Each structure stands twice: as structure tokens, then as C-alpha cells.
Amino acid sequence: MKHLIDIKDLSVEEINSLIEVAKDIMNHKEKYSHKCDGKILATLFFEPSTRTRLSHESAMLSLGGQVLGFSEASSSSASKGETVADTVRMVGCYSDIIAMRHPKEGAPYVASLKSTVPIINAGDGGHNHPTQTLTDLLTIHCEKGRLENLTIGLCGDLKFGRTVHSLITAMSRYKNIKFVLISPDELKLPDYVKKDVLEKNNMEYVETKDIEEYLGDLDILYMTRVQKERFFNEEDYIRLKDYYILNKEKLKKAKNDLCIMHPLPRVNEISTDVDDDPRACYFKQANYGKYIRMALILKLLEVK
């Protein structure tokens, strides 16, 4: 039985295969609409995340399966002090696969040690969010036609942004990827990611505070939100939250085939006047998220 706890749990071949299946689902939805008849997905969300929960639920419903679960810890037995290990053992009796979101880092890994059904990590604190990374990879593949030979700008909160760390880790396995790391000093990419991933894999990267400096070189611009919940000090959050605002004016310097991505939800970092620009891919990205999760559910349930 396989789980997805960390994007590194999947080989490049497995990721490529998931992307191919997701694309096939997009093109032949009817063919997949009963693949999971009689199967149940449990969504155990110990902290609210409407978007991630709904995309998992929509994925399972589109495969013909059913869903059950809870959307916050207060409506689960965790509020009575039950451990994650006990919760998943119980939920495994009522479902075939579990998608778990938990504010504590490592909780889905703990679940995977005891679960009798596959576990999908749907985000654990500031640690991992592998289905977002799969979504990002599918988006890049669909929009650019490749996962190699790309210059990728990562902008905003590169310190706490787990989607950024996971994306860098995932892309480090593909050829000729260059990163432009755009952030204020306080939110720079942590040294351990630079050393353990970028430098270890001899990947080219530059750091800048100026979003416009390398904008013309980028194939992908991945914007991120400065997340209030990752700050212990509200003053720091208020000072940094609007550091970058991408708007139509700034995009004049960008390539015509730039792909603008954002894991959503956005706050102010992408102006709404960018939404109609053909280079804005963030809503398409959310749509791709459903299809890659459908492919993932099929893989983990070993449905052919």
C-alpha cells in the first residue's frame, strides 16, 4: 500500500505517469466517471482549507466515489484528545482512502504508519503539501509543454511558503531549471533549501528583492501569499504583506508566453487587472488540481 506524504515519495516516472493520466482524464472525463464506484474518500481536515478539501472531494465524486469527513478539528474526536494514529485506524474502517490536513507537521506521516488505507497528505503545517506540488507540475506541463529548460521566478514568501520549497524540490529532478528567487530579506528562501536542494543539485539561481529585475527572463512566475498564520508577530506580517503587487503595468516587461501561477488564495499580491491577461494561469491551476488528484486517487487505490 502506497501513501503520498512527501513529493519525494514519488519517482520522476511516477510523477510523469500521473501527469499523463490527469491529461487523459481531462480529455476523456466520461471514461473515468465510474472508476471509483463504491469507494469512499474520507477528508480529515484538522484545520480548515476549503479549496484543498473541495478539490479532493470533487476529484472523488468525479470518479464515481463518495466522500465523508470533517472540515475542522473542533468537529472531530481530536477535540477530545484522540491521537492521529487512533483517528485514522477508526476512519480506515469507514473509508478506502484518506486525505488529511493537519496543522502539526508530520501528522500525516504518523497517520501513514498506522493506517490500513492509503493516506494523502493534504498539507501539514508549514511542512509538505504534495498534492499542491503535483498540481503545479501538471499546470507547468500543460501550459509550457515541458518540465525541463525553464526559468522559474518564485516571488513573495519564500521562507515559510511550503509550496515553494516543495516545487523547488520537485523541479530539481528535471534538467536545466533556473530559479529567480524574489523576496524581501525577511522572507528569503532558507539556507537549508539552498544548500540541500539547489546547490546539491548544481541548480542555477539568483536572489533579488526587485520583482521587475528579471521579469523579462521568466517562463513561469510563481506568486505566493504572505501567510498571516505563519507569523508569531502581527507587526511583521502587516509590514510585509503588500511587499509585492503584480499588476498589468509591471507585466509589460514580461514575455508574451509567461505563465503566472499562484497556489491561491491570493490577497493583494496579484492585482485583479491581471486576471484577464492570457498569461494568468492561477484559476486554470486550481482546475488542474482536481484532475491530478483524480489521477492520484486512482493510483493509490490501484484502480486501472
Partner 1 sequence: MNIDSIKNGYVIDHIKAGKGMQIYELLNLNELDCQVAIITNAKSKKTGKKDIIKIDRDIPIDLEKLGFIDHNITVNIVKNDKIIEKRKLNLPEKIVNVVKCNNPRCITSIDNTLDQIFILTDKEKEVYRCRYCEMSLKK
Q: Report the distance separating Cα 151 and Cα 304, nearest Å.
A: 36
3-state secondary structure of 122: strand
3-state secondary structure of 298: helix
- Give yes or no for residue 103 binding partner 1 (CB under 8 A): yes
Residue among 153, 162, 156 nearest 241 (CA) = 156
Distance of CA 99 to the CA centre of its chain: 14
Supply the minimum distance, in Å, between the C-beta of residue 42 and partner 1.
19
Instruction: Single out the residue of 53, 101, 102, 129 in contact with partner 1 (rule: CB under 8 A).
Output: 102
- CB neighbour list of residue 222: distance below 8 Å, 6 or more residues apart: 136, 152, 153, 154, 155, 164, 167, 261, 262
x-marked contacts with partner 1 along 114-153 as a string, rule CB under 8 A: ----------xxxx--------------------------
Interacting stretch for partner 1, rule CB under 8 A, among 103-111, 139-147, 170-178, 214-222? Answer: 103-111
Q: Report the distance separating Cα 133 and Cα 261, nearest Å.
A: 12
Q: What strand order describes the sheet that includes 177-182?
A: 204-208, 177-182, 150-155, 220-223, 259-261
Grid cell digits, residue 65? 466515489
x-marked contacts with partner 1 along 49-88 as a string, rule CB under 8 A: ----------------------------------xxx---
Q: Which is nearer to partner 1, 108 or 118 (CB)?
A: 108
Q: Is 53 a catalytic residue?
A: no
- Give yes or no for residue 109 binding partner 1 (CB under 8 A): yes
Catalytic-role residue among 39, 102, 129, 159 = 129
x-marked contacts with partner 1 along 173-202 as a string, rule CB under 8 A: -------------------x---x------
Supply the minimum distance, in Å, between the C-beta of residue 90 and partner 1.
15
For Cα atoms 96, 99, 104, give the angle at the middle one, nearest 5 degrees: 135
Residue among 243, 237, 205 nearest 223 (CA) = 243
Q: Is 43 a catalytic residue?
A: no
Q: Is 230 a catalytic residue?
A: no
CB-CB contact of 155 with 221 (8 Å): yes
Instruction: Single out the residue of 105, 204, 236, 249 in contact with partner 1 (rule: CB under 8 A).
Output: 105
Supply the minimum distance, in Å, between the C-beta of residue 84 and partner 1.
7
Catalytic-role residue among 35, 39, 43, 52 = 52
Catalytic-role residue among 3, 56, 101, 162 = 101
What length does the chain have? 304
Binding site for partner 1 (CB under 8 A): 83-85, 102-107, 109-110, 124-127, 192, 196
Catalytic residues: 51-52, 80, 101, 129
